[in-house]
Structure 1
């Protein structure tokens, strides 16, 4: 992994040198950027279920295969664009290709939809030469966060609509803390984090290739588990299940540490590629799944706003409407900063 990272950084340094030479030749100050344009900004949103805002209803494209992306009509890209419009910053959203279940590799490869519903083209196909802003987040599915949750929960291991398998089904769910702190579990986590980092690096490089004049904003994930995990031992108002169901309390810091490690990798990849980063993890410590009425994350088995085959679908630790609005605020603030610098 280290050799690959050094190689990719070397390529980026070379590309930066070429770009610097071009700027000097054109008389443009190095590092300079125009103010926010008066015209609408051609924009593409990409990402996984956290960009699509799985669980928020209604969903887009219910009459097509894209309905299986569970992309909310009022997802954070839509809400962020509306917030910006109120500040006289208009995004001309050409595409929002975010889709539940997307791996980072689905930025450049087709995505198979569930239940044999078909395939979607690579998300990078939405990028054009005139794209000026690219925003979104991915990485959690490549990391395998669903498998981590299933490793720690007997309830999630039962047949359900949540896809994926535990990391090691032979290991008891109640012993997941020991598993992830053991040699095998630690090695698996390190490998998956390296994979997510490498794929994100390739994704941002591809974004620069297909939309060379675009500002790029990588959006991190909101925090799921609070620092004080005793808050997770109380059900949210109106709920009977605990926020993390039967995940043992001693495993909750493991989940948080894994999420923080992914956040740090995403932040570093963005910096290495000259992209901007929205650090939602750092901004949402008071809106975790365990913060009761202030929670911005729906509990693992708390019913979301969606149904499938006439059955309610749980949030599975995705942003609820409050969390969606928090995402939209921070993303809109970052877009405004980027377009005005």
Structure 2
């Protein structure tokens, strides 16, 4: 696995501008300690399908972002409304979250998965010198979580709309747990995690460079597999398919371990960020709202119909937050944002 080339100038300038911003903050008027900002806070939201909230309708159509599948009522919109109810107004400069985004699409164009040849600009282009808050989630697509799911499921291997190929199509789906814990599968996974860590470091540096006064907030991913994996062996109310399709029961703990490792990688990137950043730990706070938690589930099943129509059918959720999950996500984001802005 090749490490992403770090831009020394961007990194040095990011550290310098953060240091300068801290000095100016100490030198200038600070207002009342712990008071919410009186003026609207210029804010940029970024991210992938979990922040765009793929699967929830209606979604924003028109222009080059139609196939980002960004819900009109995504977690960012709901979080901003929750904050407004508490007297904290966000001046949303842009929400550039887009389904399928890799971490590298923060600084590189993104080619839309369902519309080859159509691209959207790098998400960092939305940042301004006066941006004071940057919030979003990235990492799952860089890790290749769709490929991991396809490695573990014969049913998903037949779904062309779910991007990516299994890591090794010659390996049976039923043995994917062992595959990712040994040999070439483990080597591939370790390389992917290294890439995620490097890319998230770059992302946080770039926010500091392009928006030196912005509070940086990285949002983790909600938990998909419960601690009690036997819950996943029964269809949820109103469904006939299992919530995690045909993924073998022995692979479920491995999938959860992979997701926990992703959460830890994201948390570490935040902890190591020059100048400080914050992390919203959704994984730790959604253990009772996984895809397998019946009527309490905050995640739509892999092959459960989402709200997005495709002709006379619906696209599957592919394990994305449903309305309940979106609202849980929004509350966590709003609570963390309120804490940050009241410091």
Partner of residue 88, structure 1: 87
CA contact (8 A) 1:223 1:280 kept: yes
Deviation of residue 27 (structure 1)?
A: 3.4
The 8 Å contact of residues 40 and 91 in structure 2, kept in 1 or not, is answered as yes
Distance in structure 2 (CA, Å) of the matches to 1:21 and 1:63: 38
Per-residue CA distance 1:256-294 (angstroms, 9 max, x = gap): 000000100100101111110000000000000000000
1:319 paired to 2:335: no
| Counterpart residue number, 2:178 | 178
Per the alignment, in what secondary structure is the counterpart of residue 252 of structure 2? helix
Cα gap change, 1:214/1:24 in structure 2, threshold over 3 Å: closer, same or farther? closer
Q: What whole-Å deviation, never above 9, does each CA across 1:152-194 have from its counterpart, x for those lacking one?
A: 0000011431111000001011111121121111111110001
Task: Summarize the Cα distance change of 1:4–1:321 in structure 2 as closer, same or farther, 3 Å threshold.
Answer: closer
- Asked if the contact 1:23–1:29 (Cα under 8 Å) also holds between the matched residues in 2, the reply is no
Residue 18 of structure 1 deviates from its aligned partner by 7.5
Q: Compute the displacement of 1:250 (Å).
A: 0.4
2:292 paired residue number: 290
CA distance in 2, matches of 1:16, 1:282: 34
- CA-CA distance at 1:35 after TM superposition: 3.9
The residue correspondences of 1:199-214 to structure 2 (distance < 5 A) are: 199-214=199-214
Contact 2:4–2:195, Cα closer than 8 Å, also in 1: no
Please give the secondary structure, in 2, of the residue aligned with 1:116: coil
> Counterpart of 1:304?
306
Q: Contact (CA 8 Å) 2:108, 2:122: kept in 1 or not?
A: yes
3-state SS of 1:313 partner = strand
Tell me whether 1:112 sits opposite 2:111 in the alignment: yes
Distance 1:297 1:240, change over 3 A: same
Displacement, 1:29? 11
Distance 1:21 1:237 in 2: 53
CA pair 27-144 structure 1, distance change in 2 beyond 3 A: same
Q: For 2:21 and 2:85, how far apart are their aligned partners in 1?
A: 38
1:103 corresponds in structure 2 to 102
Is the alpha carbon distance of 1:64 and 1:25 closer, same or farther for their aligned partners in structure 2, counting shifts above 3 Å?
closer
Structure 2 gap ranges (5+): none
Does the aligned pair in 1 maintain the 2:280–2:332 contact within 8 Å?
yes
Conserved in 2, the CA contact under 8 Å of 1:68 and 1:117? no
Deviations 1:219-266 (A, max 9, x none): 000000001100001111000000100000000011100000010010
> Are the equivalent residues in 1 in contact too, given 2:106–2:124 (CA < 8 A)?
yes
Whole-Å separation in 1 of the counterparts to 2:21 and 2:271: 21
Report how far residue 65 of structure 1 moved. Answer: 2.3
